[in-house]
Amino acid sequence: MSFRFRVLALVMLVAVSATAATAWLILRGAAQQINAPDDAASAQLDLITTELTDYARRHGTWERVTGLVVQLGRRTGQRIHLVAESGAVIVDTDTESDPDRPVRPIGEVSALVNPRPSLDLTGAGRNAATVTLRAIKDYRAGVRFAACLTRNGVEVTAAPGAYGVPTFTVAEEARVPQPTLDTCDGYLREPPDALDEDRRRVKACLAYTAEPDRACLAQAFADRIDGVAPPRARVFVGVGGRSLVLGPLLAAAAGVAGVAILATAVLSHRVLQPISTLTAASQRLGRGDLTSRVPVEGNDELAMLARAFNRMADSLQRGEERQRRLIADVAHELRTPLANLRGYLEALSDGVIKPDPDLFASLYEEAVLQQRIVDDLQDLALAEAGSLAYHRTTVDLAELLETCHTAHRAGADAAGVSLTVTAEPVLVYADPDRMRQVIGNLITNALRATGRGGRITLTAEHTDGSALVRVEDTGSGIAPEALPYVFDRFWRADSARGRTTGGSGLGLAIVRQIVTDHGGTIRVASALGVGTTFTITLPVAGPGRDGRATPDPGNPTA
């Protein structure tokens, strides 16, 4: 069974099982709701209505009533849906207590919540009109004040007042910030035009009767507080629509399962197709096809894996090319001298030539040269693999050049070449032995290229935060077309690759690798008949650990 089919089958099983379990839970919950009696909601309606009426009368507004309604819903276990006369929903426990819960149908048990006071003019006598005007003014100001305090989170109390009109005060335990109190106090002042309209409306109730029309005055009170009093509302308790329809539920479950299966199929193709491509490329790579690569699309984890595979293949291909080139170079370098050694040895064995000290000296020199080639190859291989050991310390380049000058002065004098040093103290963090090897190789090459009477100059200086070392000669120079190959393995300025004027051909390759491992660069400038200058740039010893330059993190042996 393929991995893709197993993934698809597993996800299908999970999707179908989850959908079936969800459908069963929904059916079970719906059945319980259908079987619940409605008289429980009816019995709790009076409690809910009383609490809501008391809240609106006490606070003068429906604002911040959500907490009370949610609390009542939890206490009674009922859905409470409170809606104003205008149709605007004030609060619904199904949407407030659990936003992720499906909204159920509104219950059929309901009652009117009327928090507005009624003016009772019993006992007002002939002062009924004056009482009505004061009641309108006081209630409007008080209810606005109470609503302002409630809006700012201040607890308000309402006490029964004369003629059925409540009075509003701040709760004793409440602490009102002065800015809030200043703002809410502004609601206690009535605009003059509102008072004029109050008087006109009350006066209309006195126009045609000797006694004040108390019913008219009560209606005037109700009309004039209509704009500020909390609106009447209707509260619905419980859940309605108690019928279970299986068709849509089953269709939804099937749709969810189908979408899950389709998404899984698409996802498995999206994930496994690049993996199949990588697998095929890996198999080709394993069979020796180092040119095998995979296309990279996007920036996700699969794209990162494809890039990593391509980098690995590039590295393998470069390594294979280096190995083939190295084998070819080694074979080329060793074929001729080994053939010479074999020829002389066979001649000695056959008695064609007689042994003498000069012949043995020549054979010994040839063997030493081959040993040097092998040693240089080993150093270069270790350096390129990052395994060449470095013992770094703080090195003064001026002292290093003086040491190299002393070591090569005898050879320079014998060749009739002037070897001088011009250096200022410059500190670098490097392996002194390897750096002497670098400078020594450059001086040796310069001596080979410089005739008698020539000059070789060693320079060290500090420039722009870097240390510069120059080895400059007045020798024969290098042709411009040959400069790009100076640091290649087994390259020699002598096209005949003779050993009288050239070494192993690995010295400059080793020099470049050692300089690179020290975080530096080397470049060459030359002109035929004028001379050659090698310039090494190294980082100076900076404020790293122990006052030294920071070692190269890419070289584990540093």
Quick one: which of 121, 470, 513 has its CA closest to 322? Answer: 513
Residues 28, 35: Cα–Cα separation, whole Å: 11
Contact 478, 486 (CB under 8 A): yes
Residue 7's pLDDT is 66
Two structure tokens written together for 57: 């009368």
What strands lie across the sheet with 233-239, from one edge to the other? 89-92, 80-84, 233-239, 106-113
Start-end of H helices in 152-191: 178-185
Two structure tokens written together for 238: 């419980």
* Three-state DSSP class for residue 534: strand
Contact 176, 137 (CB under 8 A): no
Quick one: which of 152, 175, 177, 191 has its CA closest to 59? Answer: 152
Contact 60, 46 (CB under 8 A): no
Output the 3-class SS for 400-459: HHHHHHHHHHHHHHHHCCEEEEEECCCEEEECHHHHHHHHHHHHHHHHHHCCCCCEEEEE
Two structure tokens written together for 337: 């001298």
Residue 555's pLDDT is 46
Contact 99, 152 (CB under 8 A): no
Quick one: which of 157, 149, 125, 150 has its CA closest to 54? Answer: 157
> Beta strands of 26-138 (E only): which ranges?
80-84, 89-92, 106-113
Instruction: End-to-end CA distance of the chain: give it in Å, rounded.
Output: 51
Residue whose tokens read 């050692």: 514
Residues 459, 470: Cα–Cα separation, whole Å: 5
The structure's pTM equals 0.42
Residue whose tokens read 């389709």: 262
Per-residue model confidence as pLDDT tens for the chain (558 residues):
555 666 667 777 777 777 777 777 777 766 655 555 456 778 888 899 999 999 988 888 898 898 888 888 888 888 889 999 888 999 988 888 667 777 888 888 889 999 989 888 888 887 888 888 888 888 888 888 888 888 888 888 888 888 888 988 888 777 888 888 788 878 777 777 888 888 888 888 886 666 678 888 889 888 888 888 899 999 998 887 655 556 676 777 777 777 777 777 776 666 677 777 888 888 888 888 888 888 888 787 778 888 888 888 888 887 777 777 767 766 766 776 777 788 878 888 888 888 888 778 877 877 776 776 777 677 767 766 666 788 999 999 999 999 999 989 998 999 999 999 999 999 999 999 989 989 998 999 999 999 999 999 999 999 888 999 999 999 999 989 888 888 887 666 554 444 444 555 678 888 998 999 999 999 999 999 899 999 999 999 865 434 444 444 444 444
Residues 104, 107: Cα–Cα separation, whole Å: 9
Please state, as a whole number, how many other Cβ atoms lie within 10 Å of the Cβ of residue 550: 14
Residue 435's pLDDT is 93
CATH 3.30.565.10: which residues of the chain? 388-547
Contact 256, 263 (CB under 8 A): no
Residue 419's pLDDT is 95
Two structure tokens written together for 360: 């043995």
- CATH number among 3.30.565.10, 3.40.50.720, 1.10.287.70, 3.30.200.20, domain 388-547: 3.30.565.10
Two structure tokens written together for 459: 């320079």
Amino acid letter, residue 319: G
Start-end of H helices in 97-191: 128-151, 178-185
Residues 54, 138: Cα–Cα separation, whole Å: 19
Question: Which residues 6+ apart lie within 8 Å of 387 measured at CB?
Answer: 557
Residues 23, 532: Cα–Cα separation, whole Å: 87
Using alpha carbons, list the distances in angstroms from residue 106 to 79, 96, 98, 103.
8, 15, 16, 9
Quick one: which of 489, 487, 510, 505 has its CA closest to 370? Answer: 505
Residues 140, 158: Cα–Cα separation, whole Å: 14
Two structure tokens written together for 259: 């979408």
Helix (H) or strand (E) holding 333: helix 301-350
Two structure tokens written together for 61: 């507004």
Contact 250, 23 (CB under 8 A): yes
